[in-house]
Amino acid sequence: MQEPSVQLKWKPHAKHAPYKPCQPRVQDKDSQPNSAQHPLQANKHTILTSQDWMTVFMYIDAHPGVSQDAIVQHFKTHPEGALLFDQSTLSHKLRDWQKLEARIHEYPNALSMKWQHIVTRPV
């Protein structure tokens, strides 16, 4: 009994050359590697902490006649560190201003939190 002849669908190819070694990256001697960014180049999608929002609220208390758009622009170009948020976010946070202040007075570490941690099953 003879085996049927096997036909290849593809032509055999010659082997490829080996990969080139990676070139090392050239780093500037004066720069140190870090994740710090210029305040005006901060990430747009950062979540502000309660301390950041209290800073915004204190600015609103000190400047009562300023519009929400002007407040957003002020903190977007703030020299000590940009706080990036839009007018609708500010409007929502202003609605919950009293709750935020109550939470800060109730919990000592609430200023560094981005949102309230709700414990459903304490140990």
Query: What whole-number percentage of the chain has pLDDT above 90?
Result: 17
Number of CB atoms found within 10 A of residue 92's CB: 10
Task: Quote the pLDDT of residue 116.
Answer: 65
Task: Quote the pLDDT of residue 113.
Answer: 67
User: pTM value?
Assistant: 0.53
- Residue 37's SS3 state is coil
Amino acid at site 48 = L
The mean pLDDT value of the chain amounts to 76
Residues 81, 83, 84, 87, CA torsion sign = negative
Task: Quote the pLDDT of residue 3.
Answer: 59
Q: Which residues of 9-26 are buried (b: 16+ CB within 10 A; e: fewer)?
A: eeeeeeeeeeeeeeeeee
Read off the DSSP letter of residue 117. P
Place of tokens 């290849």: 8
The tens digit of pLDDT for each residue in 10-40 reads 777 777 777 777 777 776 666 544 444 455 4
pLDDT at residue 63 is higher than 90 = yes
pLDDT at residue 9 is higher than 70 = yes
The tens digit of pLDDT for each residue in 71-92 reads 999 988 877 778 888 899 999 9
Range in 6-15, 37-46, 72-81, 106-115 with the lowest mean pLDDT:
37-46
- Residue 89's SS3 state is helix
